[in-house]
Amino acid sequence: MAEQTAPPVIRDPGTPAKPDAAVVRDALGVGVAVGLSGFAFGVTSAGAGLGLLQTCALSLLVFTGASQFALVGALAAGGNPFTAAAGAFFLGTRNAFYGLRLSQLLALPKAVRPFAAHWVIDETTAVALAQPSRRAARVGFTVTGLTLYVLWNVTTLLGALGAEALGDTAAWGLDAAGPAVFLALLAPMLKTATERATAGIAVLLGLGLLPVLPAGVPVLAAALAAPAVLWLRGRRASAAPGGAERTDRAAEAGPETKEEDSR
Amino acid sequence: MNVWIAIGLTAAGCYLMKLVGLLVPAGTLERPLVQRLAALLPVALLAALTAQQTFSAGGSLVLDARAAGLAAAAVALVLRAPFLVVVGAAVAVTAGVRALGW
């Protein structure tokens, strides 16, 4: 589910009202493309040894793709449920930051928020942030969320059933679907040297610690690459003030910065 | 049973994260360091997961057909292929290399 969707475009306050139909079209496009990748999740989850009910429960209740793939991967590798869930949880923390952006943009009534929260994911955020008005953002969020939720769950079911019919999923190369999904999610994030350094260190930690630590733990240890790189950069920046710091920061902070720059 | 525990914990944890963002007062998590860490954390996790799920089997490092599949996915990404094509390329190449007996 698709962190690979285009980053939120800059909102221009001068843009005229966007017709609802145009917003719905955008939202459906994202929802359909990404919803279909639920098929890959269903196959991967079944291939990892999870039952049909377990696979469907994940898509229904977790509904954030990267965390779902991470969880079934960790369980397949023999990780205990707590380390497996911890990895999935850390991947899901970014949704809290999406929620912050959406909370201001959508201005939802308090009673609606617990329901809307389930749909706070990469794609709904990308579509909502790309809209020129609150009304369009609400329509975009709702249509993307609904389309994705329905399709993601239907395709998860079909994928899991398909995998059972296929038998040995590895013979069909389906064990490569998980890592390919992660790579597709990761690629658009590698914008500056900071991200690339973080990814490189995380790969080294993840692979280097794999033979020596219990399953699931090396991924969590690899997550330390993020604070480590930030700390090293902070030290370098204070050693050589000014200069490169500003440009680097702009690319790094993600969607928010674009808006700041446009002001 | 262990699988259900993992599913329950993940579902609860991920839902709470989604909800927290909508409920906390604006500005609470807007500190630059927190924002940067939040942006980098998925990078580290996804990179480690990609590497591990490509180059490991049962707790040891291996080089097998999945590496070829991941390379195919990387090529597809460089060519700006859609998400499903990227995943499809990895699956097809992995299956092909295995069929060749590697």
As for how many domains chain A has, the answer is 2
Residue of A nearest to B97 (CA): A173
Side-chain half-sphere of A3: how many Cα atoms within 13 Å?
A: 24
Contact A174, A44 (CB under 8 A): yes
Q: Are A52 and A179 part of one and the same domain?
A: yes
A139 touches chain B (CB under 8 A): no
Choice between A247 and A152, residue whose per-residue pLDDT is larger = A152
pLDDT digit string (tens) for B77-93? Answer: 999 988 778 889 999 99
pLDDT digit string (tens) for A189-235? Answer: 898 999 999 999 999 999 999 999 887 789 889 999 999 999 999 88
B98/A179 Cβ within 8 A: no
Supply A207's token pair.
Answer: 């692979």
Q: Are A44 and A166 part of one and the same domain?
A: yes
Residue of B nearest to A98 (CA): B21
* Final residue before a domain boundary, out of A132, A165, A189: A189
Q: Are A40 and A72 part of one and the same domain?
A: yes
Across B1-102, the runs of DSSP E, i.e. the strands, are 56-57, 60-61
pLDDT at A16: 55
B46/A108 Cβ within 8 A: no
Side-chain half-sphere of A22: how many Cα atoms within 13 Å?
A: 11
Query: What is the SS3 assignment for B57?
Result: strand
* Final residue before a domain boundary, out of A148, A165, A189: A189
Distance CA B6, CA A243 (A): 46
Q: A44 lies in which domain range?
A: 1-189
Determine the distance in angstroms separating the CA of B95 from the nearest CA of chain A, rounded to an integer.
Answer: 4
Q: Are A50 and A155 part of one and the same domain?
A: yes
Q: Are A89 and A218 part of one and the same domain?
A: no
pLDDT at A247: 44
pTM of the model: 0.76
Q: Sorting pLDDT into bands at 50, 70 and 90, what band is A88?
A: very high
Contact A80, B4 (CB under 8 A): no
Q: Are A113 and A182 part of one and the same domain?
A: yes
Contact A13, A19 (CB under 8 A): no
Q: Which residue has the tokens 């049973």?
A: B1
